[in-house]
Amino acid sequence: MAWPQLDAFLARCKHVGGLHCLVHVQRLSYSMQHKLVDRIKGGWLGSSFRLVMLAMAEDDSQVHALREIPPQAAHALSPEGVEDIVRKLAPNLMLVTSEEAGCGKTETIRQRAFAQQKVPVNIPVSGPLDVADLVHRLLDVEWRPFHCLHLDVGPTLQPEMLSDTLTQLSLWGVVQATQGDASICVLPCSGTFVELANLSTRLLLDLPFCRLVSPKSVRFDMRAFQVSDCPRSPAQVVCCTLDALDRNTLNTRAVKIGATPLPEARCQDLLQVYLVRRMGTMSYSLMLALLRVLAAQLVSFSHSVYFDCKTLKELNLKDSLRAHLVEQALEACASFLARSVAASKVRQRSQHGPAAVHCAEVRDVPKEVVELFASQQTPLSPFLRGGAMPRSGLPDYSKMSTAELEERLGRMVLPLGSQLGKPAEGSSYVVSPDNFVKMVWIALRVESKVPVVIMGETGCGKTSLIRHLARLLSVDFKCLNIHAGTSSQEIVQFVQSCASQSTDEKSVWAFLDEVNTCEHMGLITEIVCHHRVLGEVLPDSLTLLAACNPYRKKPKLSGHEAAAQQALTLSDSSRRRSHSELVYSVQELPEALYDYLYDFGFLGKPEEESYVRSMVEHKFQQRLPATSKLGLACLTELIVASQRFTAENQPACLLSLRDVKRCVELVDWFKDIITYPKGGEQVEREGVEDHLKYRTEVKRWDRARGEQASTSLAGADSEMWLRAVLNGLAVSYHCRLPTRKLRNFYRQLIAKILASHRVQLPRRENWEDEAVVNYLLKNEMYRYLEHMRLPDMTAVNEALLENVFVMMVCILNRIPVFVVGKPGNSKSLALRIINANLRGPDSEDELWRRHPRLYVISYQGSEVSTSEGITKVFEKAKRYRESRAKDALILVHFDEIGLAEARPWVLFKVLKGAGQMAFACKEADLMFLRSCSKPGEGLTDKFDLDDLAKAYYSYYQDQPVQDFHGLRDFYFFVKVLAKKWPRDPGNRQYTIFRAAFRNFCGLPDHVRPQSHYGKGSSPCLFVQKQYRLLGLERWMSEKSVGVLSLVEENLNDKHCARHLLLVCSGGTEAAIGLVQTAAARSGRRIQIMVGSTFAEDRSDHYAFSLLKRITLSMEQGDVLVMRGLDVVHGSLYDMLNMSYTTMGGKHLCRIALGDADMLTEVHESFRCVVLQETSQLEKLDAAFLNRFEKHCVGIEAGMSDEVQQKAVQFVRNLAN
């Protein structure tokens, strides 16, 4: 509430008589509470006003200012007393609930309203609650005297606001928006019905509003089920057949469907016996869905001449065949619908208990024979699930091709005379028996007007299956990719647009993808289950389908999975985001959706292998010579083994059939571009001597292989094929494994499979097959890196090599990629190298002139990132591509994506929809994942640096705070030594000692291990533990260096100094004074910026104003001291990383906020100093920490060791 509203209320108290009540005064801000008290105690209201203020506060801190008015304790009413008062205030108020969804809450409200000669006006209330929007929706209704209000309440994350709103509308018929235009609505109707949606938790039932009135709970009762008296209604069609089955006349006489309706009581008895008992769990909505599906099949069955009683008698078939087929149809439909509903409900509810957090394996479809009745040339369309084939010789669907399965699909689900639609040009979709079954069931549901909600793991083929089915059925397909930032207006506009395009002659399929990633689940339920949007009924020609991911908590990880999870953690902030305990970042599904749920389940091993074989053969069978067909079997086995190895050692959500498709496409791409290096080719660039030596040996091995017996992959073409396969596996599987141990096991697996197919690898004494595969992979990576110009002082380590290779391949193939790794793993450097070399016709190397020019559009992730900002940058990329050559490579670079995940909304999901605007592309599964493994000991084999590398690696593994010091600290440690290495050996120990203090300090005392050193001494922990490997004397491990001298040395160092992070204990004043002293000694100007702590200042506007001041200091070369500017830290990562571009002798740096960025000049003397309290240190991301030279600053920082010792002795003397 704003002060003008409160001021107007006080004016009414002053001038209007009666009792006034101000509720929830504890929610007023501290300043508004003071203003309120001043108005009351100051006499402004006079002496005749009567005002009651109600505060529901748990402690005095919420109403501290109001304590100036003597409080009085309230005596609580009994529940009966409260209900009596509510009944007097709102005699026509009714609250309706149910134990299960689909039990008739809405129908109960309709009947109760009709009994009162009222018509209910449905107003959905759910999701992110906007009272102003609710007020406007109520004002837009053309109210009539016979109307009453029906509030359909769904899930929300604002239960308190929802309870207040329901109370206002139900008891007083008034609701006012507290923000915006402060509009108000006074209901012109007297009756109010409140319907609570069914959730797996008691969120809605525990609302304070629900304690005001006793709810009417409805439940499923077969006797209350209303059966239409229309002979051709689904219920009558099914009951007519069941009546014949029950009377044992089905095998002897034809069923007369549509002749005479059965009595309602008889229908209820039949449905109870044949359906309810089979289903177990039943609801009205589930009953209607089952009747519609069965009715469509039974009508076709009754019209089939093949199963006419006379035909069966002439063919001498069993008399019981007709009854057996109907029983099978009942069993198949009932078990198919019931299992998905019951299993999924139990699984979601179990996630709220302490025990069951694992997802039980879901079987796909029943193993028994499922018999479907089609209306076309084949009246009965049976297909098998499981391995057994009946003796009657029914077709074996597992041996059919994609074209044959599609043709049978059309005969089953298309009307007579309709033609099967053609897939999109270039479509590589493979139809297998598994997805054939799924398409048939989905088509039958659509034909029966039953809502379709598909649940399945990521990448199991939900969207592609629906899209392909729509093309085959020649219907207009529209898709909305929903994500956490999708607004309710976008959903409503999409559905209304699809409704306007659908006609009786032209049906439209509206597909809502990833529905449970947004907060508008109440709106989604209304659209899908009730076929209406915001109370408006949608046309029958519009078919609505939805897809979602399971709501499941992360299971307890095994050793390999825990290592993978740790390696894939994007940032420390990612652990603080919402839904971080879930496998998928999704909302709970309202249980009303479960009655229409179709669970895709998990893909079994036989089905997965069938998919892989089909994809490989579809891609390569017509393009390889007959002699290489064995190569297809080898590739199939390699991909299947890679899928299973990855599934066993990484989280299941990171793997899907998309990886298979990517691998197959990459093998094909590598096969087309791979060429042997020209004979005698020499590369003179430094840093690749070992690579050249290895390549020479490879050539010698190749010549030796030509003299040996032929293998299954003999010949130059097959040699190319092998290299293409290894490269495809490297990008798709090998480079995403997070640990060296897993990679070693994977290479052993690949070598074993190649050997089983008689693929002979190069041999060398004492080399294992795994080592040969490893070096073959590295050799391919070096082939591409040879053609790139690298920045000066760049060491080609394993991380950089793989990053460049994977990024280059994904960019050229337009494959989205996540590059995940610890700070200092050369992620940004790799992209800079690629951007500098892929210049199209202007490239220095001939190889890159053959490829389009690369344009990079950057988006800086930060804690103020929004879904709208991400969408805009993709729109910008699309416009950029349209204005450039069509074959130009437009790259959207999302930097520090982990910072964006700290937002209250999950932003990853928007990447799926936004990415499809610019290129054909689900989080880490939709986008390829390149996982950088932790650094190993093999950082360098230079003798001078060997001990330094071992010292760092040992310290890195055992440091008290994980990733507090990382590779960047080591890189700058070596850089300082390289720049300042003295010629006199006697000075080298001191140089190493000072460089270690410059780059490996900053650990607060409370996290350092206990040592025998005095309190006043703060030695460098790196020197303490590794002084022997560093070549230092023992006394150096006990010596400390004053922080002032280190800061001063940093400010004077223009070549190898980083920006500073001062970890402050006891306040930041001592650190500011220390920097001021150091700057004064260096003759430098200092600027100090202190950020705001108000929540309203965490906005783009405030961040832009801060960045303007920061860029000015960068240009002027100031010493900039920043405190509390967390809101802009993400925008300064390039500057903090000292990632500068040199143009015209000037250093330029990219400063970005969202999709906006600019190049700013950086003075060579500029230095940034960030002050951070020790208590806030654990909240900082490792990526942020690793960019700084770190030091601890306390109140003793400005004192010499002698002064500190005297002060300590003085305190001890006083204590004694």
Name the domain boundary from 76, 100, 116.
76
Nearest to 153 by CA among 184, 192, 194: 194
Residue 829 has pLDDT above 80, yes or no: yes
- How much is the pLDDT for 260? 87
- How much is the pLDDT for 896? 72
The DSSP H or E segment spanning 123 is: strand 119-125
Domain tally, the chain = 7
Residue 1028 has pLDDT above 80, yes or no: yes
pLDDT digits (tens, 9 = 90+) for 360-381: 343 444 433 334 433 333 433 3
Place of tokens 């095994």: 558
Q: Residue 389: pLDDT band by 50, 70, 90 thresholds?
A: very low
Q: Does 636 share its domain with 592? A: no
CATH number, domain containing residue 455:
3.40.50.300
pLDDT digits (tens, 9 = 90+) for 287-320: 888 898 888 888 888 888 878 888 888 777 777 8
User: Rounded distance, CA 805 to CA 736, Å?
Assistant: 13
Q: Are 755 and 638 in contact (CB under 8 A)?
A: no
In a domain, 1117, yes or no: yes
User: What are the structure tokens assigned to 655, written together?
Assistant: 């793997």
In a domain, 885, yes or no: no
Q: Does 1111 share its domain with 1074? A: yes
Q: Residue 269: pLDDT band by 50, 70, 90 thresholds?
A: very high
Query: How confident is the model over 667-677, as a mean pLDDT?
Result: 75
Of 399 and 784, the structure prediction assigns the larger pLDDT to 784
Q: Does 1178 share its domain with 1117? A: yes
User: Rounded distance, CA 780 to CA 785, Å?
Assistant: 9
- CB within 8 Å of 988: residues ≥ 6 apart: 981, 982, 1031
- How much is the pLDDT for 18? 86
Residue 192 has pLDDT above 90, yes or no: yes
- How much is the pLDDT for 461? 79
Query: How confident is the model over 1186-1197, as a mean pLDDT?
Result: 85
Listed range (22-36, 237-251, 1003-1017) with the worst mean pLDDT: 1003-1017
Query: How confident is the model over 461-475, as a mean pLDDT?
Result: 88
Domain of residue 1017, residue span: 924-1039
Residue 178 has pLDDT above 80, yes or no: no
- How much is the pLDDT for 856? 86
Listed range (11-15, 386-390, 869-873, 1170-1174) with the worst mean pLDDT: 386-390
The proportion of the chain whose per-residue pLDDT surpasses 90, expressed as a percent, equals: 20
Name the domain boundary from 1023, 1039, 1055.
1039
Pairing state between β 542-548 and 508-513: parallel
User: Rounded distance, CA 50 to CA 16, Å?
Assistant: 10
Q: Does 326 share its domain with 270? A: yes
pLDDT digits (tens, 9 = 90+) for 1145-1190: 788 888 877 667 778 899 989 999 999 988 888 878 788 888 899 9
Q: Does 1052 share its domain with 1035? A: no
Average confidence score pLDDT of the chain: 79
Query: How confident is the model over 1191-1213, as a mean pLDDT?
Result: 80
Q: Does 783 share its domain with 750? A: yes
Of 292 and 766, the structure prediction assigns the larger pLDDT to 292
- How much is the pLDDT for 998? 92
Listed range (387-391, 533-537, 631-635, 966-970) with the worst mean pLDDT: 387-391
Of 442 and 913, the structure prediction assigns the larger pLDDT to 442
Q: What angle, rounded to 10 degrees, do the helices at 740-756 and 559-568 form?
A: 120
CA angle 109, 114, 119 (to 5 degrees): 80
Q: Does 1057 share its domain with 1191? A: yes
Q: Residue 40: pLDDT band by 50, 70, 90 thresholds?
A: confident
- How much is the pLDDT for 357? 33
Query: How confident is the model over 121-129, as a mean pLDDT?
Result: 88
Nearest to 791 by CA among 939, 686, 942: 686
Nearest to 1034 by CA among 1019, 1045, 1046, 1048: 1019
In a domain, 541, yes or no: yes
Q: Does 172 share its domain with 268? A: no
Q: 877-908 burial by CB neighbour count: b if 16+ within 10 A, else e?
A: bbeebeeeeeeebbbbebbbbbbbbbbebbbb
Q: How far apart are the first and last CA of the chain?
A: 59
Q: Residue 863: pLDDT band by 50, 70, 90 thresholds?
A: low
The proportion of the chain whose per-residue pLDDT surpasses 70, expressed as a percent, equals: 80
pLDDT digits (tens, 9 = 90+) for 74-115: 777 888 888 888 888 889 999 999 988 888 899 999 999 999
Pairing state between β 1146-1153 and 1141-1143: antiparallel
Q: Are 603 and 460 in contact (CB under 8 A)?
A: yes
Of 564 and 704, the structure prediction assigns the larger pLDDT to 564
Nearest to 643 by CA among 604, 601, 608, 607: 608
- How much is the pLDDT for 549? 84
- How much is the pLDDT for 750? 92
Listed range (396-400, 765-769, 931-935, 1145-1149) with the worst mean pLDDT: 931-935
Name the domain boundary from 1024, 1039, 1054.
1039
pLDDT digits (tens, 9 = 90+) for 590-599: 888 888 888 8
- Highest-pLDDT range among 16-25, 122-131, 633-642, 643-652: 633-642
Q: Does 42 share its domain with 176? A: no
Q: Does 650 share its domain with 752? A: yes
Encode 1145-1182 in three state secondary structure: CEEEEEEEEECEEEEEEECCCCEEEEEEEHHHHHHCCH
Residue 478 has pLDDT above 90, yes or no: yes
In a domain, 882, yes or no: no
Q: Residue 193: pLDDT band by 50, 70, 90 thresholds?
A: very high
Query: How confident is the model over 392-417, as a mean pLDDT?
Result: 77
User: Rounded distance, CA 352 to CA 602, Å?
Assistant: 23
In a domain, 448, yes or no: yes
User: Rounded distance, CA 1139 to CA 603, Å?
Assistant: 45
In a domain, 41, yes or no: yes
- How much is the pLDDT for 385? 33
- How much is the pLDDT for 309? 84
In a domain, 298, yes or no: yes
In a domain, 913, yes or no: no
- Highest-pLDDT range among 343-357, 671-685, 688-702, 838-852: 838-852
pLDDT digits (tens, 9 = 90+) for 644-664: 999 888 876 778 888 898 999
Q: Does 622 share its domain with 729? A: yes
Residue 250 has pLDDT above 80, yes or no: yes
Q: Residue 574: pLDDT band by 50, 70, 90 thresholds?
A: very low
Residue 505 has pLDDT above 60, yes or no: yes
The DSSP H or E segment spanning 705 is: helix 689-706
Q: Does 626 share its domain with 756? A: yes
Place of tokens 């203003």: 35
